[in-house]
């Protein structure tokens, strides 16, 4: 799975580009204390848009789990 993540500031969304995504690929977004703030499933399309507008400014991690593989990436809302 190839993954890239970026924040779209105009729409306040986290954009996840991915390949080889199955219908049961899950994501968790958690803060630096390890508390899960958002979770859901990635789209089977190669791009998923996640609304992060309710998250306060802080540092976060997104974790994506699919077919036994785990991808983690840090991002910061400013």
> Is domain 3-77 in CATH 2.60.40.3080, yes or no?
yes
Q: What is the mean pLDDT of residues 58-78?
A: 91
**Which has more pLDDT, 29 or 43?**
29
Q: What is the mean pLDDT of residues 48-63?
A: 95
Each residue of 11-25: pLDDT tens digit?
Answer: 999 999 988 777 778
**pLDDT band for position 6 (cuts 50, 70, 90):** very high
Structural domain boundaries of the chain? 3-77
Gyration radius of the chain over CA positions: 12
| CB proximity list for 31: less than 8 A, separation 6 or greater | 37, 58, 59, 60, 61
**pLDDT band for position 3 (cuts 50, 70, 90):** confident
Summary mean pLDDT of the chain: 90
């Amino acid at each position: 799975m190839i993954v890239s993540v970026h924040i779209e500031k105009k729409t306040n969304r986290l954009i996840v580009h991915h390949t080889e995504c199955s219908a049961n690929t899950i994501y968790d977004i958690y803060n630096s204390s390890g508390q899960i703030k958002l979770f859901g499933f990635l789209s089977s399309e190669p791009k998923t848009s996640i609304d992060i507008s309710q998250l306060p400014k802080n540092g976060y991690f997104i974790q994506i789990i699919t077919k036994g593989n785990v991808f983690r990436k840090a991002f910061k809302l400013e």
